[in-house]
Amino acid sequence: MKILFTKQYGYYAVISGLCAAWGSICGKLSGNFSYELSLNNVGQLFLKSIFILMMLTSNAAVWTYYVKALQASSTSLVPTIISTASNYIVSALAGFLIFKEQLSFLWCCGMFLVISGLALVTESECKENNIVNKTKKE
């Protein structure tokens, strides 16, 4: 997990994943008027429009930060994994906390495997970069 805090593309990839999760939340909120609000049709339409606009803005930010992560990295694998994992984790937690969705034991095991895989891949990337840097210096 050291790569998330020492490499610039790690920051960009995490921000990309967070923006993707926020876009998903806004998209779900734009179509979910099952919550009790005493708004008339114009108010609901206005609120729905705000959520859709936030979703579109968030998706633009996803691609901006994802491209920055790809440009800052020597490989596309690690930024893709970091962005996808952060999106997956934050979306699932938001579903649990905001939308009261149930998380099964199997889902929790899957989340553990995602985080473990992220740690393994990013750690191997750090080791490969250290080997390459040492050979370049020699």
What is the per-residue pLDDT across 90-128, written as a single tens digit (0 to 9) for each? 999 999 998 888 989 998 899 889 888 877 877 776 666
Task: Report the percent of the chain where pLDDT is more than 70.
Answer: 80
What is the per-residue pLDDT across 27-45, written as a single tens digit (0 to 9) for each? 998 887 655 566 677 777 8
- Residue 1 above 80 pLDDT? no
Would you state the pLDDT for residue 37? Answer: 61
Helix (H), strand (E), coil (C) string for the chain: CHHHHHCHHHHHHHHHHHHHHHHHHHHHHHHCCCCCCCCCHHHHHHHHHHHHHHHHHHHHHHHHHHHHHHHHCCCCHHHHHHHHHHHHHHHHHHHHHCCCCCCCHHHHHHHHHHHHHHHHHHHHHHHHHHHHHHHHHC
Residue with tokens 């909120």: 29
58 pLDDT tier (thresholds 50, 70, 90): very high
- Residue 17 above 90 pLDDT? yes
